[in-house]
Amino acid sequence: MFSYRHAFHAGNHADVLKHMVLVATLRHLAEKETALALLDSHAGAGLYRLDGDYAATSGEAADGVLRLLQVPAAQRAEWPAALTDYMELLAGFNPSGGHRIYPGSPFVMHRLARPQDRIKLFEMHPTDGKTLQANIDQLEAGRQVVVFREDGFEGVRRFLPPPSRRALLLCDPSYELKSDYGRVVELQTMALQRFPTGSSMVWYPIIARNEAHILPRKLKSVATRAGKPWLHATLTVKAAKQVAAGERRPGLPGSGVFIVNPPYTLKPALEQALPLLVKLLAQDENATHTLETQGG
C-alpha cells in the first residue's frame, strides 16, 4: 500500500500538465478577494530534488520539465501565458539558476496563496508524510498550512463546505490500488453534494487499465447530473505498450485532468498551451492532446 513514492516521477510530463493547469486555475481564483480553502488529498512530500537518487533512478523529469528548460530563452519568450506562468513559478524555486528543486502541489498552492487563504494537506505515506511536515515547517507559515497524516479521501470531507464558501480541491492519488478509481468518483460526488459551487480538480493516469479508461466518463456523468460545468484535458506523449511478465514498465504514456466548475479562462489558455506541449514533449508519433468542456 505504501510502495508509491512521487519522488521517482517528479517533474515528468504528467506533473507538467497537472501543475500548469493548477497554476492557471489558482491565478484565476485569486482574482476575487474572498479567502480560498485549498485542499490537497494526496500531497506527497511537497518538494523534490531532480538531481537526487529517486529522480535519477527513473529519469522521467528528463522527458518532462527538464526538456522544457532546455529550450532557448528566446523561444520560451514566445510561449503561451499558461506555460510561461508555470515555468516562471518553477524558476522561483531555483533562484540561483539551474533546476534542482521541483515543487509539488502543496508548494505550488503555497506560492500562489494570499494571506487570507488556508491550505489543508493530506498524506498517508509514513515517510512522505514526515518529509512533507518537515518541508512545510521550513515555511514558517503558521496556521495557513496544516498537514494531516491521514487518508485524504476521508479527511477532506470535514472541510467542505469551507467558511469562506470558496475552495479548490485537488485529488491525485497514486492509483496503485484499483479501489482508488472508485474512491475518486465517490469523493467527487461527495464534494458536489456538500459544496456544489466549489472547484475540484482530479488528475489520473492514461494507462491500459479498464478503470483508468472509465474514470473520466464517470466524472463527466457525476458533474453533468449535478448540473455543473466541467473541463477535461489530456496529454499523451507516446503510445501505450503492453508489458510482458518480468519486463520493466515503460513509463507513463499520458495523463488527464478533470475539473468541475473550472475558470472560464482555462479553456482558451489550454487551447494555446496543449498543442505546444505535444510538440515539446512528444516521445513518438502518437503524441496528442484532447480538450473537452461542457457548460459554463
Look at residue 153 and tell me if it is in a domain: yes
Task: Out of 51, 172, 180, 284, pick the active-site residue.
Answer: 172
Q: What is the model's pLDDT at position 97?
A: 73
151 is known to lie in a ligand binding site: yes
Would 1 be classed as within a structural domain? no
Q: Sign of the C-alpha dihedral, residues 228, 233, 239, 241?
A: negative
Mean pLDDT is lowest, of 27-41, 57-71, 151-165, 218-232, for 57-71
Give the span between the Cα atoms of 123 and 147, in whole angstroms.
8
Q: Are 11 and 100 in contact (CB under 8 A)?
A: no
227 labelled ligand-binding: no
Q: Looking at the domain assignment, is residue 49 inside a domain?
A: yes
Asked whether residue 245 is domain-assigned, the answer is yes
Tell me what pLDDT residue 245 has: 47
- In a domain? residue 118: yes
Q: Report the number of distinct structural domains present in the chain.
A: 1
51 belongs to the catalytic site: no
pLDDT tens-digit series, residues 191-216 = 999 999 999 999 999 999 999 999 99
Instruction: Report whether pLDDT(22) > 50.
Output: yes
Buried b / exposed e across 237-266, counting CB within 10 Å, b at 16+? bbeeeeeeeeeeeebbbbbbbbbbbbbeeb
Write down the mean pLDDT value for the chain. Answer: 92
Domain around 62 = 6-294
pTM of the predicted structure, to 2 decimals? 0.94
**68 lies in some domain:** yes
Whether residue 3 has pLDDT greater than 50:
no
19 is in an annotated binding site: yes
pLDDT band of residue 95 (cuts 50, 70, 90) is: confident
- Tell whether 137 is in a known binding site: no
Supply angle C-alpha 22, 24, 26, rounded to 5. 65
Question: What CATH number did the domain enclosing 29 receive?
Answer: 3.40.50.150
Q: What is the mean pLDDT of residues 183-190?
A: 98
